[in-house]
């Protein structure tokens, strides 16, 4: 599962079947930042979805090491 693979690293899960149970489970199982982003299956990924993902990723981005 993605939560195990991510460890404590931030991750995004994009799916058309994300619900409250998924959000509760990830919140309890993942110690790091995460975004569960639901996509409307009839529309697919839209510009608004990409904007939301980009904004979230900007918020959790870390400066490069070195």
pLDDT of residue 2: 84
What is this structure's pTM?
A: 0.84
* 5-64 tens-digit pLDDT: 999 999 999 999 999 999 999 999 999 999 999 999 999 999 999 999 999 999 987 766
- The answer to whether residue 1 scores a pLDDT higher than 80 is no
pLDDT of residue 24: 96
Residues contacting 23, CB < 8 A, separation 6+: 36
Q: Tell me what pLDDT residue 64 has.
A: 67
CA–CA separation, 6 vs 4, rounded Å? Answer: 6
Q: Confirm if 10 and 58 have CB atoms less than 8 A apart.
A: no
Is pLDDT at 66 greater than 70 in this prediction? no
H helices, E strands: number in the chain: 3, 2
């Amino acid at each position: 599962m993605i939560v195990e693979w991510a460890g404590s690293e931030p991750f995004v899960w994009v799916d058309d079947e994300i619900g409250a149970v998924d959000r509760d489970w990830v919140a309890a199982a993942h110690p790091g930042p995460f975004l569960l982003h639901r996509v409307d299956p009839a529309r697919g990924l839209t510009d608004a979805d990409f904007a939301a993902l980009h904004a979230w990723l900007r918020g959790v981005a870390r400066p490069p090491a070195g």
